[in-house]
């Protein structure tokens, strides 16, 4: 039996879908549905049980889930604008520590979501070597909460027996419920349908043109493959980037959406809110050598092909869930 925390969320439900595709259905989904619509992500999935995050952990620590073989821990507070430090540290740090200690005690596999947000402004690069984490300076409280756990796991020696995944800019089906945290692909599609145009942030630094800000955009289907591969290869441990290794501009991204909709690009550039200007990353690009050297050989989908699949097979058809 596999536990997937955050299993109703964007990446978590996609991982459950990916496990189902491989014939694995003996899964416990752990999440906190709250007042969101992410419960809809579970409708077509196969799993053994669902538990709220606050009910699962006490039961786990009391010995109720001895049949669990491993945990894919993707549950977290992922809002990069969240200001409640107690909430972030409770669920992104303390909760993760409890799961890691349990897995260590009972020799269970654990793969967990770190974050590319730990890289901050990128001045220290985007290398995923374990020892480099002490140099990183996240730009927001969310990134800090993830950084804390990476450092704790390293100091405890636990990174030698589990894998931490630094997801870059993920987009694809099952993200519809994320509100402002949705990918730019989803937002652009909605703007184009409503107005025929897309709004992008202007650049506020001279090194980048408007729309020229760069990100490592990765399709959720590729994320699923890497995540499950790392879970299944128990000898592969430490921190790993999950990206494409190729930075692309926001202009490239929205142009791909227009082209997938068979429309000519029409883009308006607007000022970036002052609230996020000091926390804004102008460039991210995952270094992917580590996971490749570990044996992962599957190619990632190109930006254009990924956007085309997402737009034409999901968004246009108003089918937001993986199939």
Annotated catalytic residue: which of 178, 202, 234, 308? 178
Please provide the average confidence, as pLDDT, over all residues in the chain.
Answer: 95
pLDDT of residue 198: 97
Cα gap 213→205, rounded to integer Å: 10
| 320 has pLDDT over 90 | no
| 51 has pLDDT over 90 | yes
- DSSP of 54-101: HHHHHHHHTTTTTT--EEEE------TT---HHHHHIIIIIHHHHHHH
| Per-residue model confidence as pLDDT tens digits over 147-183 | 999 999 999 999 999 999 999 999 999 999 998 889 9
| 279 has pLDDT over 80 | no
* Catalytic (active site) residue 142: yes
| Per-residue model confidence as pLDDT tens digits over 57-72 | 999 999 999 999 999 9
* Catalytic (active site) residue 199: no
**Model pTM score:** 0.95
pLDDT of residue 278: 79
pLDDT of residue 295: 98
Domains in the chain and their CATH numbers? 2-170+217-243+287-297 (3.40.50.720), 171-214+247-281+309-315 (3.90.25.10)
Cα gap 45→51, rounded to integer Å: 15
Annotated catalytic residue: which of 119, 142, 154, 167? 142
């Amino acid at each position: 039996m596999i536990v997937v925390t955050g299993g109703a969320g964007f990446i978590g439900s996609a991982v459950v879908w990916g496990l189902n595709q491989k014939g694995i259905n003996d899964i416990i989904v752990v999440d906190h549905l709250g007042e969101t619509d992410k419960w809809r992500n579970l409708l077509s999935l196969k799993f053994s049980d669902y538990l709220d995050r606050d009910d699962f952990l006490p039961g786990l620590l009391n010995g109720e889930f001895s049949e669990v073989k491993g945990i894919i821990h993707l549950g977290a507070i992922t809002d990069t604008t969240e200001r409640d430090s107690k909430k972030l540290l409770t669920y992104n740090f303390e909760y993760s520590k409890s799961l890691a200690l349990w897995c260590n005690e009972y020799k269970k596999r654990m793969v967990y979501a770190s974050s590319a947000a730990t890289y901050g402004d990128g001045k220290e690069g985007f290398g995923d070597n374990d020892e480099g984490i002490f140099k990183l300076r996240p730009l927001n409280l969310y990134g800090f909460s993830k950084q804390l756990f990476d450092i704790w796991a390293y100091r405890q020696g636990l990174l030698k027996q589990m894998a931490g995944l630094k997801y870059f800019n993920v987009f694809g089906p099952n993200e519809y419920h994320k509100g402002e945290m949705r990918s730019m692909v989803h937002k652009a599609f909605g703007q184009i349908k409503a107005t025929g145009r897309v709004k992008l942030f202007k650049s506020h630094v001279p090194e980048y043109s408007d729309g020229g800000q760069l990100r490592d955009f990765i399709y959720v289907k590729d994320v699923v493959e890497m995540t499950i591969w790392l879970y299944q290869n128990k000898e592969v441990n430490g921190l790993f980037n999950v990206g494409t290794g190729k930075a692309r501009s926001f202009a490239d991204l929205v142009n791909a959406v227009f082209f997938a909709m068979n429309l000519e690009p029409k883009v308006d550039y607007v000022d970036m809110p002052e609230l996020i200007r000091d926390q804004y990353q102008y460039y991210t690009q995952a270094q992917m050598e580590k996971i490749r050297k570990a044996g992962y050989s599957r190619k990632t989908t190109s930006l254009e092909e990924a956007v085309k699949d997402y737009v034409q097979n999901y968004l246009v058809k108003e089918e937001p869930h993986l199939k």
